[in-house]
Amino acid sequence: MKRFNLKNSNGINADIIDAGAAVQSLFVPDKNGNYEDIVLGLETPEEYLSNNDPYFGVIVGRYGNRIDEGKFSLGGKSYQLTINEGTYHLHGGVNGFSKKIWSTEKIKSNLGDAVKLVYHSKDMEEGYPGNLTLTVIYTLTEANELRIEYEASTDKETVLNPTHHSYFNLTGNPQNTILGHEVMINADKYTPVNKTIIPTGELASVMNTPMDFRKPTEIGLHIEDDNEQLKIAGGYDFNWVINDFTGKVRKAASAFDSNSGRLLEVFTDQPGIQFYTGNFLNGKAIGKNETAYKYRCGLCFEAQHFPNSPNEKSFPTTVLKPGEVYKQTTIYKFSVLNQ
Ligand code: GAL
């Protein structure tokens, strides 16, 4: 396994590995200056490449989240992707980008320590048309940001929706749940789902629902509400429609842990963000330091296009054509608030 340690002069540091292009660890200070690892992760590359890994810290692709029945049509042709969960295609299939060894290169950046990872996906891999090359650059900046820049091109029309899948636990101790974190999501709407967790196509208002995170709200406050959507997903596991989608980077979400004082802010140019509260974690995945990752001990903020977009004409398009360049910028920024 190749591992790169990115650090800045404030002592923040991250390990990035070639397996799944994953962030394996990320040490940030609390309000007393104690550095602790705030992401869930595994010890060995084999564990990252196994099909049981719940996508800890990896880059997911070709398509993050669900595509209904793994089917879509493009240019008059129908495509059938692999079905790797329930009745749908999830996170790029059986052996998506998160289950591959990426090529790596340490690069120079004016913004800070950086590493570039590249994956070449073959025509019809997991059922997707086109030879596609995806480059991901992780940079740890002096402004205490982990920046993720994506670039991709294809030789045939295809669909693409890569995302980053870190599970954060800002307490620095994954034995704690994330239910006490206060979350803000800059979204007036979200995409409700049907019984198979596929968006219905509607953009629904968050007003007067447990999905309203426009003001910072403790995750645990409404997660057990008698709400049909929460019941279907088993907690928070939805796509929010981030306000002001113009292609420019803007604030999407934040999470704050008042005990440690750690604040995480997420900025992205993407139209949506999946906020997932680790509802499928059940203590079976054993991570770093032999920690059993229990129910709701990590939260994900996955900047993305909406799930099932290839089958929803009203959603922003995820089609990439030959000659076009796909780009995405997503930033996770860390600071401390003394409250
Ligand atoms: C999330 C997804 C969840 C679950 C998880 C991996 O991105 O929204 O439903 O699949 O990944 O266990």
Q: What is the pLDDT of residues 1-23, one digit of tens each?
A: 899 999 999 999 999 999 999 99
pLDDT on residue 180: 98
307 lines ligand 1 (CB under 6 A): no
- In whole angstroms, how far apart are CA 303 and each of 120, 142, 252? 22, 22, 8
276 lines ligand 1 (CB under 6 A): yes
Q: Mean pLDDT throughout 169-178?
A: 98
- In whole angstroms, how far apart are CA 110 and each of 2, 9, 114, 144, 242? 23, 14, 9, 14, 29
How far away, in angstroms, is 276 Cα from ligand 1 center?
7
pLDDT on residue 338: 82
Q: Which residues pair with 67 in a beta bridge?
A: 89
Atom of ligand 1 nearest to the CA of 237: 8
pLDDT on residue 42: 97
The DSSP 8-state label assigned to residue 285 in this structure reads S
Q: Residue 228, SS3?
A: helix
- Report which protein residue has its CA nearest ligand 1's atom 4: 280
113 lines ligand 1 (CB under 6 A): no
**What is the spatial distance between Cα 16 and Cα 164, in angstroms, rounded to a whole number?**
12
Under the banding of pLDDT at 50, 70 and 90, the label for residue 52 is: confident
2-39 b/e (C-beta count within 10 Å ≥ 16 → b)? bebebebeeebbbbbbbbbbbbbbbbbbbeeeeebbbb
pLDDT on residue 173: 98
pLDDT on residue 339: 67
Q: What is the pLDDT of residues 285-309, one digit of tens each?
A: 999 999 999 999 999 999 999 999 9
Q: Residue 254, SS3?
A: strand
How far away, in angstroms, is 324 Cα from ligand 1 center?
29
**What is the spatial distance between Cα 152 and Cα 162, in angstroms, rounded to a whole number?**
10
Q: Which residues are marked as active site?
A: 165, 302
Atom of ligand 1 nearest to the CA of 281: 12
What mean pLDDT value characterizes the chain? 97
Q: Tell me what percent of the residues of the chain surpass a pLDDT of 70.
A: 100
